[in-house]
Amino acid sequence: MKRLGKLTWVLMIVCLAAVFIAGCGGSGKKEADTKTLKIGVTNFADSLEPTENYFGWVVMRYGIGESLAKFDEKMNVQPWLAESWQISGDHMTWTFKIRDGVKFSNGKPLDAAAVKASLERAFAKNKRAVTFFKYKEMKAEGQTLTIFTEKPEPNMPGFLADPLFLIVDVSAEPARNFAKEGPIGTGPYMCKTFVKDKAVMVKNPYYWDGVVPYETVEIPSIDDPNTRAMALQSGEVDMAVNIAAGDIGLFNDAAKFHVDRIASLRTVLARINQQGVLGDPKVRAAFISACDRKVYNEVILKGTFIEGKAPVPPSMDYGFDQLKDPNSYNIERAKQLLAEAGWKDADGDGVLEKDGKKLTVDFVVYNSRAELPIYAEAVQSDAKKVGFDVKIKTVDYNLIDKMGINGEYGLLISNITTANTGDPEIFLNWYWKTNTNGDNPQNGSGYSNPALDAKFAELSTTFDRQQRRQLIIDCQQIIMNDGAALFLGYPETNIISSTLIEGAQMYPSDYYWLTNKIKPAKK
């Protein structure tokens, strides 16, 4: 009997241990938190004022704000807060029907008058608004908003899908600091607290488009991509945006993680200042020709970027394959061009000189995107081979806009969405249309070409889709022929999420991170 008792006791201990291990998650998979969602992001905004800088992107990404239109997975413009729209026969008047039954997060109904006030606020507070379109007048009557434009605007719904034009309750502003507390929007979540390092969202009780799954969403800013990957691996966050190329392989276990990777609409480019040493077309062409963009993307970045060539990425149907790169990689051509431009290594130190000046270029980089310093260092190495002295200067993202406006750089690298309105016209205009009397402040490089400006003018009044496509191809070829920028690569973009949640999806526009479609996974 004693022996049987001991055996029984041992079996009981084993069973209790098994229960304890199972209860502690011995399977390696914890239970989903049904009340709180945690998202690891990289954040460039130090406020939630949607008209400041490009901070409207963050307001939309965090599920606070929505616009009249939105983009689907193919970058087609779809209704959102506006359920429909139409244009007049003379192409000068757009009429938008504002959706019934929508409320702001404070419970105030959305009508055309509220939309009008919000759009007028965006124009009053951000000079970039007029680079999308200029209007003569806006009228609001009930749920109908009418916009009378100064000239035909073929892409008006796409323009109004930009986060700069997300709709806020302007009447709430006197009692609320939009920058610190977040604006009152129509999205599924609203801001509880915000500092640059972390935002906390809570459920919008008045949301119009379905159930909002989570009571709270915590959004820590984890700018270092390796740290962001570790946070997702450890379960510190439930999903993470834009995991770096070298870390994606850590999430191959489909039982634990869902990886949503798509070809993006982004171009990584270095804007080239037309003043100083790079103002010489031969020097610009030499610099670009010295850069082995195939190696940068296929080897250094492990094939997660596509080799750069043109302004608009190959993910869009704007002639990428038919465009000819006059400054493709060719070290010997780069050396010859510099010699023709009068640059020589007079003192044998490896850096070329002319008129007593070294061939020195400042390359300005912001590091909240992991690939930008990598590109800069690769360019620095290649340019050194032909006699350039490239000095890399890292600055905070919030200084980039100022530097772009004033041209305070030799090269300025950026990761830019090229078709954030569903069409690359605005992108091309911003960076390469002549900045006459300060009316195009995004073009801080000083680039100007009357032939390109003429193409832009024609494009701005062309509604036919095929004609617009050809004009955009023509514009790109002029920019490439002039060596107006160094097009480094086109990234994939991704959202990686734990399988404890579902509905996390990356869109090409990169605007819609937190939506009410993200919810605890079904058991």
- Report residue 148: phi and psi, to 5°: -100, 115
The two tokens of residue 118 are: 């919000």
Q: List all residues 6 or more positions away from 392 whose beta carbon is below 8 Å from its beta carbon.
A: 363, 365, 373, 376, 377, 380
304 is a domain residue: yes
Query: What is the residue range of 515's domain?
Result: 38-256+499-520
Q: What is the CATH number of the domain that holds 131?
A: 3.40.190.10
Residues 334 and 452 in one domain: yes
- Tens-level pLDDT at each residue, the chain (523 residues): 344 444 344 444 434 343 333 333 333 345 668 899 999 999 989 999 999 999 999 999 999 999 999 998 878 899 999 999 999 999 999 999 999 999 999 999 999 999 999 999 999 999 999 989 999 999 999 999 999 999 999 899 999 999 999 999 999 999 999 999 999 999 999 999 999 999 999 999 999 999 999 999 999 999 888 899 999 999 999 999 988 877 888 999 999 999 998 878 899 999 999 988 999 999 999 999 999 999 999 999 988 899 999 999 988 889 999 999 999 999 999 999 999 999 999 999 999 999 999 999 999 998 778 889 999 999 999 999 999 999 999 988 777 766 665 666 788 888 887 876 778 998 999 899 998 877 777 888 889 999 999 999 999 889 888 999 999 999 999 999 999 999 999 988 899 999 999 999 999 888 999 999 999 998 7
Residues 172 and 306 in one domain: no
Residues 217 and 288 in one domain: no
Written in H, E and C, the secondary structure of 321-378 is HHCCCCCCCCHHHHHHHHHHCCCECCCCCCCCEECCEECEEEEEECCCCCHHHHHHHH
30 is a domain residue: no
Instruction: Give the total number of structural domains in the chain.
Output: 2
**Total-model pTM:** 0.72
**Separation CA 284–CA 334 (nearest Å):** 9
Residue 464 contacts residue 472 (beta carbons within 8 Å): no
* Residue 23: its H or E element: helix 2-23
Residues 44 and 150 in one domain: yes
The two tokens of residue 500 are: 């404890």
Residues 459 and 341 in one domain: yes
Residues 324 and 209 in one domain: no
33 is a domain residue: no
355, exposed or middle or buried, with CB in 10 Å at 0-12, 13-18, 19+? exposed
Does residue 134 come out as left (phi exceeding 0), alpha (psi in the -120 to 50 range) or beta? beta
β-partners of residue 325 are none
Residue 128 contacts residue 417 (beta carbons within 8 Å): no
Q: What is the pLDDT of residue 174?
A: 92
16 is a domain residue: no
Residues 449 and 407 in one domain: yes
What is the CA angle 173-177-180, rounded to 5? 150
The DSSP bridge pattern shows strands 77-79 and 82-87 to be unpaired
23 is a domain residue: no
User: Which sign, positive or negative, has the C-alpha torsion 350, 354, 355, 360?
Assistant: negative
Residue 41: Cβ within 10 Å count: 23
- Of 431, 369, 426, 439, which Cα lies nearest the Cα of 401? 431
20 is a domain residue: no
**Separation CA 213–CA 235 (nearest Å):** 19
What one-character DSSP code corresponds to residue 298? Answer: I
Residues 99 and 245 in one domain: yes
**Separation CA 309–CA 267 (nearest Å):** 10
9 is a domain residue: no
Q: List all residues 6 or more positions away from 22 whose beta carbon is below 8 Å from its beta carbon.
A: none
Q: What is the pLDDT of residue 31?
A: 67
Indicate the length of the chain as a whole number. 523
What one-character DSSP code corresponds to residue 436? Answer: G
**Separation CA 471–CA 1 (nearest Å):** 95
Q: What is the CATH number of the domain that holds 331?
A: 3.10.105.10
**Separation CA 522–CA 499 (nearest Å):** 10
Residues 202 and 305 in one domain: no
- Report residue 517: phi and psi, to 5°: -80, -15
**Separation CA 172–CA 135 (nearest Å):** 25
Q: What is the pLDDT of residue 115?
A: 98
Residues 284 and 374 in one domain: yes
Written in H, E and C, the secondary structure of 201-257 is EEECCCCCCCCCCCCEEEEEECCCHHHHHHHHHHCCCCEEECCCHHHHHHHCCCCCE
Residues 175 and 294 in one domain: no
Kindly list the distances between the CA atom of residue 78 and the CA atoms of 85, 261, 297, in Å, as whole numbers in the listed order. 10, 22, 33
- Helix, strand, or coil here: 263? strand
- Report residue 68: phi and psi, to 5°: -65, -35
Q: What is the pLDDT of residue 18?
A: 38
- Of 147, 109, 102, 111, which Cα lies nearest the Cα of 129? 147
How many whole angstroms from its chain centre is CA 451? 29
Residues 50 and 160 in one domain: yes
**Separation CA 366–CA 412 (nearest Å):** 9
β-partners of residue 390 are 361
10 is a domain residue: no
